[in-house]
Amino acid sequence: MPRGGKKCYKGRGKQFTNPEEIDRQMRAQREKEENGGIEVESKSSSEEESSDEEDHDKKKKGVEGLIEIENPNRISQKSKKVTEVDLNAPKELSRREREEIEKQQAKERYMKLHLEGKTDQARADLARLALIKKQREEAARKRDDQKKAKEESTTKSKR
């Protein structure tokens, strides 16, 4: 056993907000949004008491008192009804799918230009092919000349 006795965790226990409190906060936020940011005076007394308690419990940290911070994760997702869903609407593609399609289109454009001979690589290939054709023609001409010279030498030797 280590010196100084038993070591234990000294951190605070976690405090969780109960679901009723979260629902109350969400309702208050929705009412605030619906009324254009102006709070309604016709709140029930229990809601007023709870909002006063929240103000005392929650200290504003940093610049929270100066700037109104809106948490996008706090907004509730509104579900659509089956009748509202439009099946003919264009499907939103994910970033990866969009990039894949763009990549394929770019490749097709490049191949089209390549076949037309407008890309640098196509020009280099055509130049290389022209050189090879020229070399082959010269080699064929030399072979023909050598063949003719050989035939002439054989015909002269026979005479």
Q: Where are the domains of the chain?
A: 18-57, 97-158
* In contact, 28 and 51? CB cutoff 8 Å: yes
* In contact, 47 and 28? CB cutoff 8 Å: yes
> Tens digit of pLDDT for each residue in 2-47?
566 666 666 677 778 888 999 999 999 999 888 875 544 444 445 5
- Single-letter amino acid, residue 42: S
> Tens digit of pLDDT for each residue in 47-66?
555 555 555 456 666 666 67
What is d(CA 152, CA 149) in angstroms, rounded to the nearest whole number? 5
Quick check: pTM over 0.75? no
